[in-house]
Amino acid sequence: MPVAIDGALLAEVVPEVLIAEETSNNEKNADFYYKRANIKKQLKDFKGAIADYTKVIQINPRHLEAFFERGFSKDELGDHSGAIEDYTKSIDIDPKNEDVYFNRGNSKSQIKDYQGAISDYTKAIKINSNSLDPYPYFYRGGAKNELGDHSGAISDYTKAIDIDPNIPYFYNRRGITKALSGDYAASSLDFSIAIKLDPHYTNAYYNRGLSKSLLGDYQAAIIDYSKAIELDPQNISYYQEIALDKISLGDYKGAINILKTTLGFTKPKKVLDSIEELIELYLITGDFQEIPGLITKAKNLIEKLEEEKTLEAARFFYWEAKLSSTLGDTKKAIELLEKGLSLLISINEKDNLIANNSREALIYAYINLKDFKKAKKLIKVRTADGQLALVWIAFLEGDIKKAEKMLKRLVNLEKKQLKNQKSNPYLIGQLGSAYWWQGENHKALPLLQESVNLYEDSYGKSNPILIQPLINLAMTYFNLQGFQKTDYYLRRSLKIQFKQIQEESIYLPISRREAFLKTFGITYAAIFSASNIHPKGKDLALFARLNRHGLLEEIEKKQSELASLPGPQLVIAENIKGITNQLASRKNIAKARVDNLIQKKERLETQLYNLLPEIKIGIVDVSKIANAMPMNSILIEYQKFRPYKFDKPIDALDVKNWREARYQVLILKPNGDIETVDLGLAEPIESKIKQALSHSEETLDDAQQLWDEISRLVITPLAQAIGDSKTLFISPDAELNRIPFAALRSPTSNKFLGEAIDLRLLTTGRELLELAERSTTSTKRSLVVANPNFGGKQFWARPKQSDLVASTQQRSGDLGSSQWKPLEGTKQEGKAISELTGAKLLMGKKATALAVQERESPKVLHIASHSFFLENQKKEPSKADPFSRNLVTSSPIPKAFREENPLLRSGIVLAGANEPEANPNDDGYLTALEITKLDWNGTELAVISGCESGKGDIQSGEGVYGLKRAIAVAGARSSLLSLWKVDDAATAAFMKKFYQKLKAGEGRADALAATQQEFRNHPNKDWQHPYVWAAFQLSGDWRPIKW
């Protein structure tokens, strides 16, 4: 619209003036140029105005108004120095003009000459001391504020308010200044007046919120920020302040929710701030699964930035490294941190906050790897953070006195700085630990207790940050023989750990879960050292084992079950199955391709586990297990452990440095009584097991004698605890998983253990709870697979019924040029068992891996064929095999696969295995890893009637990684697997007898025990050897099958 000026329209005046210029011959008409300059100024054509004002000045060098207005126009264009020159000329002409001083003061403020500005504002005020203009006071207050003279600024703002008490932003500015001087209560009052004068004054609500936050009134602050959002919903800062206050209130979930609403805002840098805060919150709450997606979003936003890309990239390398470190991948963390620091150095930003944080994280990463030399190179010794890093190194190097001295100095320095504020819980906790390591427990106790209390005040009582502080406090009580409190604090720490494992490992790719467990340190391993030392020790040790042992297997099993249900996750699950089959393929795949497949599989697993409903496992109380046990039963949990070494921190913090490994037994009775028995050093027991296995497999005469000796080592010491129990539940650990417990003797007689007592093998005592619940039993027909045709290129054709499975099945195991011999015994075995059970029988060319993969949840699955487990070793495996169920020719394990996933080194040999290239979709092998992706939920029993089907890698806390684990993960309720290579004909006869008893209604364990007893007295003397009757071991559900 045209602008009105002096009663006329500006749009109408301009042409008239321009015509006047053209028609006038008086080029020196100053009045003409001055008027035209004013019009141009009104139109914001400041350059044009300056040109005309200059002409006026050329005509009349003492034209005060022209200098003044030209100065104003220069100010508008940002030429504040030029403006100051013009204002000064104007003052030279008329030193009594208050407006000129005022404007020059403003210009000086713009170039940060606040002292000069104050002088000009003061002169303006003196020229007209009776003026009712509040602005000279207001702006002088602003200049004083910038110089840190808050008292003088408040005085000026007050004078401005006295002159005109109805201007809201006067109160707002005075409120800000009062806040800067630390008077938050008074500042809040000023903001309240501003709001009363202008209820829509957004900035005043925001500032009052800040003041209330600083007063600790977070709820009131949130109300003010919320009102600011109501008035201006596009200002991301208001949301971020609410999040910070919710954090202060301990409402991390609320903070996360409000920050998530800001991720769609349009200011990339501010959104990056929200992402950073979210990542930090997720690291605190342990919701690690949320972080990778945020890092990806951050990287995408950084690409859109026009400036500071490098700085922001370094910032998020730091947070990505923090995640990697938290998940136990220290090497990746170091790689990311070094990359980020390199970027910062390239832009000469090596000392900013991001660089300092990255450097500190890198220091601790090196310390974790015990590379103290590299860590010390990065440490800034004159900083508090640097001193803390040196303290930790001193701890690890065993110089506790030095650590104590540095910590005392840091604590005293902090007390001076903080005055009445709360102490740093980490710092005082470290000092407490220094006293503890020196045996000064009475000095350590109050510090460690205060540390725990402070952490609880800030993070609540169940945050993962408490895991180590609770342990430190517990160990101090332990030294002081306060065993009740030792148990209380250790149990709390363990519960937080187990909850964290259950809640966070479910979102990680399977390959990263073991590394994640290692981030929880030594607590679980150390618990067993105290089982016999204090009264509560055995209770706590059993509680720990029952909640931790086999936990990852249970999680994977539950997720496998959920993944097989209808829904969007099913497509991802099938894609993972396809990649798994490619990884299991025996075709030569380039390492880069394998790495790519692994990364793709991990990405898909992360997607899948985020789609699945949250699984509930919960913390299991020992009494709950006891209540699930039948009367006259006993639960035996074997545990291998290293006694904790207290001598030096560097030894104590690494299990490998503890004392020689031992075995102990944790015993639970139905009445809740707990006992523990120490079996002695592990090495003699394990050496004897290895010898007995070898002699059994080679059918040597002394095999049973060796198992009798093992009985005296692992069963006889339990005689008193077993007493007259009728049922024995056994959960083995470590190398004890390789014992055929049926071959051991009763502790009270010469009878075999399975003859004297009902023998039940479990992965963990937790299974008793699962087995006690009603479960869905498969109503589908059983499946028997036997006597596969290992050769024969000619018959392969892609099956039509399951294109998806066919398209993804490609190979199974890296067995080189192995040739498999036909098994006549399996033919008879398959026919007999299929007739007994009414099962679908697949033999010859139909006995394929694809056929097994296609069948969901058969009631019983029986596979009679070659099976294998390839040891993870550097030496070449032995080719010797005295029995017929073996390879005709063997080839060594390819070196590239010796470190491979144990589930890829274990599997079953099926049709076409001798011609793996003949069928592009099926090479004849079904690996344990592939079995983990099958749906056998409701399958009552899975029997792999082949060589070494029960063997696998032993992993601490998780049991056997091989077919046994794979079958459990797939969902089968029980498995019957072999501990060594077995004879073809003998196995066929054994299995037929076993199924006859099963079909007659005997329980799985009872049928096995009866068959074993029958073969110990078999007419064929060769079959009386433990090699035949003790080879197969049942694990899981022992009860009858409802046919």
pLDDT in tens, 636-657: 999 999 998 766 666 777 788 8
The residue-averaged pLDDT of 990-1007 equals 97
Per-residue model confidence as pLDDT tens digits over 106-159: 999 999 999 999 999 999 999 988 888 999 999 999 999 999 999 999 999 999
> Rounded to whole angstroms, what are the CA distances from 807 to 375, 857, 923?
51, 21, 12
Cα–Cα dist 169/29, whole Å: 44
Q: How confident is the model at residue 874 (pLDDT cuts 50, 70, 90)?
A: very low
Look at residue 600 in the predicted model and tell me its pLDDT.
78
Using CA atoms, how far apart are residues 432 and 418, in angstroms rounded to an integer? 20
Give Cβ neighbours of residue 748 (< 8 Å, ≥ 6 apart): 719, 722, 756
3-class state of residue 461 by DSSP: coil
HSE of 355 in the Cβ direction (CA atoms, 13 Å)? 17
C-alpha–C-alpha distance, residues 925 and 850, integer Å: 9
**Does residue 938 surpass a pLDDT of 70?**
yes
Judged against a pLDDT cut of 80, whether residue 796 lies above it is answered with no
- pLDDT over 70 percentage in the chain: 90
Rounded to whole angstroms, the Cα distance separating 770 from 765 reads 10
Could you give the CA distance from residue 755 to residue 726 in angstroms, rounded to a whole number?
A: 11
Mean pLDDT of 442-463: 93
What would the pLDDT profile of 61-72 be if each residue is shown by its tens digit? 999 999 999 999
Confidence band for 314, pLDDT divided at 50, 70 and 90: very high
Eight-class DSSP state of 795 = T
CB proximity list for 189: less than 8 A, separation 6 or greater: 175
Q: Cβ distance 664 to 641 under 8 Å?
A: yes
| Helix ranges restricted to H, 742-793 | 753-756, 767-772
- Give the pLDDT score at 492: 95
DSSP structure string for 434-496 = HHHHTT-HHHHHHHHHHHHHHHHHHH-SS-GGGHHHHHHHHHHHHHTT-HHHHHHHHHHHHHH
Among 49-53, 241-245, 366-370, which stretch is predicted with the lowest mean pLDDT?
Answer: 366-370
What pLDDT is stored for residue 856 in this prediction?
92
Two structure tokens written together for 444: 């350590």
Q: Which residue is listed with tokens 């078999």? A: 1018
Rounded CA separation 147/156 (Å) = 14
Measured in whole angstroms, the distance separating CA 1019 from the mean position of its chain's CA atoms is 59
Which tokens go with 481?
């023989």
DSSP letters along 219-269, please?
Answer: HHHHHHHHHHHHH-TT-HHHHHHHHHHHHHTT-HHHHHHHHHTTTT-S-HH
Parallel, antiparallel, or unpaired: how do β-strands 8-9 and 4-5 relate?
antiparallel
* Rounded Cα–Cα distance for residues 753 and 742 (Å): 6
Question: What is the C-alpha separation between 37 and 55, in angstroms, rounded?
Answer: 10
* Residue 266 structure tokens: 């349009």
Q: Taken in order 455, 458, 459, 460, is the CA torsion positive or negative?
A: positive
From the list 760, 997, 1024, 787, the residue with the least C-alpha distance to 911 is 787
CATH (residue range 391-459): 1.25.40
Average pLDDT over residues 829-846: 96
When pLDDT is averaged across residues 693-706 and rounded to a whole number, the result is 96
Distance (Å, whole) CA 523 – CA 498: 11
Give the burial class of 683: count Cβ atoms within 10 A of its Cβ; 0-12 exposed, 13-18 middle, 19 or more buried.
exposed
Q: Which two tokens stand for residue 355?
A: 């660089």
Report which of 553, 573, 549, 555 is spatially closest to residue 563, judged by C-alpha positions: 573
Out of 445-454, 503-512, 702-711, pick the least confident. 503-512
Q: Which of 503, 514, 952 is CA-nearest to residue 737? A: 952
| CA atoms of 374 and 253, how far apart (whole Å) | 39
Q: SS3 of 974, please? A: strand
What tokens does 600 get? 């793709």
**Amino acid making up residue 655:** V
pLDDT at 877 over 80: no
Number of H helices, E strands in the chain: 48, 20
Give the strand pairing for 906-909 and 860-864. Answer: unpaired
Contact 678, 532 (CB under 8 A): yes
- Contact between 687 and 734 under an 8 Å Cβ cutoff? The reply is no
Hey, which residues does 663 pair with through a beta bridge?
640, 680
Measured CA to CA, the distance from residue 826 to residue 435 in angstroms comes to: 68
Q: What is the DSSP letter of 781?
A: P
State whether residue 849 is helix, strand or coil.
Answer: helix
- Rounded average pLDDT over 616-627: 92
Considering 168-177, 604-613, 774-783, the range whose residues carry the highest mean pLDDT is 168-177
Averaged pLDDT, 471-496: 93
Mean pLDDT along residues 226-236: 96
Phi first, then psi, for residue 211 (nearest 5°) are -65, -40
Report which residue type is found at 165.
P
Whose tokens are 């790689």? That residue is 335
Q: Which residue has the tokens 């029958």?
A: 1014
- What's the rounded Cα separation, in Å, for the pair 831 and 842? 10
- Rounded to 5°, the CA angle 866-867-872 comes to 140
Give the three-state DSSP class for 128.
coil
In the DSSP assignment, the letter for residue 893 is: P
* pLDDT on residue 589: 61
Residue 532 has pLDDT above 50, yes or no: yes
Q: What string of DSSP letters covers 898-951?
A: TTS-GGGSEEEE-TTTTSTTT-TT--SEEEHHHHTTS--TT--EEEEESTTTT-
Say how far apart CA 429 and CA 447 lie, in whole Å: 6
Q: What is the CA radius of gyration of the chain?
A: 40
Mean pLDDT of the chain: 87
* Strand ranges for 669-732 from DSSP E: 674-681, 727-731
Structural tokens at position 461: 């009582």
Q: Kindly state the average pLDDT of the residues 274-282.
A: 95
pLDDT at 421 over 80: no
Tally of CA atoms within 13 A in the half-sphere of 689 that contains its CB = 17
Domain 774-1036: state its class. Answer: alpha beta
Give bridge partners of residue 842 from the DSSP assignment: 785
Distance CA 154, CA 78 (A): 29
- pLDDT, mean of residues 280-298: 89
Residue 276, both tokens: 């950073």
Q: What is the pLDDT of residue 327?
A: 87
> What interhelical angle do 236-248 and 218-231 show, nearest 10?
160
Question: Which of the four pLDDT bands, split at 50, 70 and 90, describes residue 198?
Answer: very high
Q: How confident is the model at residue 591 (pLDDT cuts 50, 70, 90)?
A: low
The CA distance from 682 to 658, in Å, is: 14
C-alpha dihedral over 459, 461, 467, 470, to 10 degrees? 120
Q: What is the mean pLDDT of residues 434-444?
A: 94
C-alpha–C-alpha distance, residues 236 and 244, integer Å: 13
pLDDT of residue 606 exceeding 90: no
Q: Which residues of 395-412 are buried (b: 16+ CB within 10 A; e: fewer)?
A: bbeeebebbbebbeebbe
pLDDT by residue (tens digit) across 78-92? 999 999 999 999 999
Element (H, E) at 514: helix 513-518
SS3 (DSSP) at 560: helix
